[in-house]
């Protein structure tokens, strides 16, 4: 493929105006989170297999007509790998693609420093899109958007031409996302929305009224680990693959402009062309598949209760997500996805918050908001027993335990 003349290539890809940015972006974005060794320091050192994987992925993405490449400071080596592949390996003209990166600096000074390092890593003198990464709580929203804070500094860099458009990325509850959109500080938003997680539709609708670009995070992984779909789900979405149908579902909303595809899906891109032409609104064929999927919820008498009225329960349990994982398991045989996500709950984190249901935490559940006919405690226990897997202790933890035992024995010997 002639990478110096990308404008002459016409692949089977579709493009949408990314809201008020007025940039025509491919409806599929190349995500850069999962390259090999990406979390190993130092981030600027790129092993050959990481470089090879990045180059192979970028080449395949370009061949599909993808023109938006996404990464983040928090993705370890990703920015440096892209910088080398796009500039040194493939020698692409900078204007032939759009580049999005993210970061969550806490101050104006830190913002300048971080963006400077990111520009150097990516080997570019400007960024098309920059998102403040992880506005996940009201506290983080307040800090990010404070007077003289990081978002204000990003907007100054926008005026200087270093950043073309400023947005935010979020894993937050819906009320936080809506509040962030309502600040009118941002040109675009990156958020979660899929067939199996439709909670954020209201945020997308609001963003559309404000002409914001809408970028869907990880539809194939967070959207149900669709590259590893169970047989039942594969049959329910026929003649489409679940990856294809979920993408078509997302793109049926006119306010959604691009979906990020990352590894392992981007290792082959085998399902991408089944997405097009993307229906907006839904086609009758897609509507029939949706009806079949919707009807599966009738298999479980409790799947109709989503638990969002208990979103901030005093127990600290993430009740809506616990019930969602249970419903996906019972109605769609998506137990593997439940195992994958349930064990990611962070008792003290804000990316995927949620306590596990210990006896003490279960006693704190406020059942006053739960319908009397829903045996919530039993459902939570059932989900935990089916999906929880204790974390394996690391070698370091094992060594520490052995040292403690040795010290104890030594004490008695002495």
- Spatial CA neighbour of 177 closest among 217, 137, 131: 137
Q: Measure the CA–CA gap between 153 and 132, rounded to whole angstroms.
A: 11
310's tokens: 């208990």
Q: Measure the CA–CA gap between 248 and 223, rounded to whole angstroms.
A: 13
Q: Which segments of the chain have a pLDDT < 70?
A: 1-11, 267, 393-414
Q: Which residue bears the tokens 């008695």? A: 412
**What pLDDT shows up at residue 214?**
98
- CATH class of the structural domain 3-285: alpha beta
As annotated, the residues of the chain forming the CATH 3.20.20.100 domain(s) are 3-285
As separate numbers, helices (DSSP H) first and strands (DSSP E) second, the chain gives 15, 10
**What pLDDT shows up at residue 404?**
55
**What pLDDT shows up at residue 269?**
82
**What pLDDT shows up at residue 238?**
96
Q: What's the Cα-to-Cα distance from 160 to each of 21, 72, 200, rounded to whole Å? A: 16, 21, 33
**What pLDDT shows up at residue 346?**
87
**What pLDDT shows up at residue 37?**
87
**What pLDDT shows up at residue 9?**
46
- 225-279 residue pLDDT tens: 999 999 999 999 999 999 999 999 999 999 999 999 988 777 678 888 889 998 8
């Amino acid at each position: 493929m002639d990478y110096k003349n990308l404008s002459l290539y016409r692949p089977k890809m579709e493009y949408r105006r990314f809201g008020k940015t007025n940039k025509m972006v491919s409806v599929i974005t190349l995500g850069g989170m999962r390259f090999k060794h990406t979390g190993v320091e130092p981030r600027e050192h790129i092993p050959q297999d990481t470089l090879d994987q990045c180059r192979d992925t970028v080449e395949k993405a370009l061949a599909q007509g993808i023109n938006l490449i996404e990464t983040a400071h928090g993705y370890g080596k990703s920015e440096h790998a892209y910088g080398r592949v796009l500039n040194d390996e493939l020698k692409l003209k900078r204007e032939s693609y759009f580049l999005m990166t993210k970061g969550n600096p806490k101050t104006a000074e830190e913002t300048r420093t971080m963006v400077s390092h990111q520009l150097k890593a990516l080997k570019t003198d400007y960024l098309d899109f920059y998102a403040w990464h992880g506005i996940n709580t009201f506290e983080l929203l307040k800090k990010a958007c404070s007077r003289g804070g990081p978002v204000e500094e990003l907007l100054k860099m926008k005026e200087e031409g270093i950043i073309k458009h400023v947005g935010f990325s979020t894993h937050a509850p819906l009320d936080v996302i809506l509040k962030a959109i309502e600040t009118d500080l941002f040109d675009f938003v990156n958020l979660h929305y899929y067939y199996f997680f439709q909670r954020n539709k209201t945020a997308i609708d609001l963003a559309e009224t404000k002409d914001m670009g809408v970028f869907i995070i990880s539809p194939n992984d967070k959207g149900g680990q669709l590259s590893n779909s169970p047989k039942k789900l594969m049959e329910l979405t026929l003649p489409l693959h679940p990856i294809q149908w979920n993408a078509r579902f997302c793109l049926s909303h006119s306010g959604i402009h691009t979906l990020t595809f990352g590894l392992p899906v981007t290792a082959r891109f085998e399902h991408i062309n089944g997405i097009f032409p993307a229906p907006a609104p839904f086609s009758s064929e897609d509507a029939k598949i949706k009806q079949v999927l919707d009807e599966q919820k009738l298999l479980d008498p409790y799947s109709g209760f989503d638990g969002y009225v208990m979103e901030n329960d005093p127990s600290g349990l993430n009740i809506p997500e616990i019930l969602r994982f249970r419903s996906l398991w019972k109605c769609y045989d998506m137990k593997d996805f439940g195992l994958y996500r349930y064990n990611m709950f962070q008792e003290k984190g804000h990316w995927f918050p949620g306590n596990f249901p210990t006896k003490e935490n279960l006693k704190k559940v406020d059942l006053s908001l739960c319908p009397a006919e829903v045996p919530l405690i039993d459902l939570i226990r059932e989900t935990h027993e089916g999906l929880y897997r204790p974390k394996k202790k690391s070698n370091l933890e094992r060594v520490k335990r052995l040292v403690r035992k040795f010290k104890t024995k030594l004490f008695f010997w002495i």
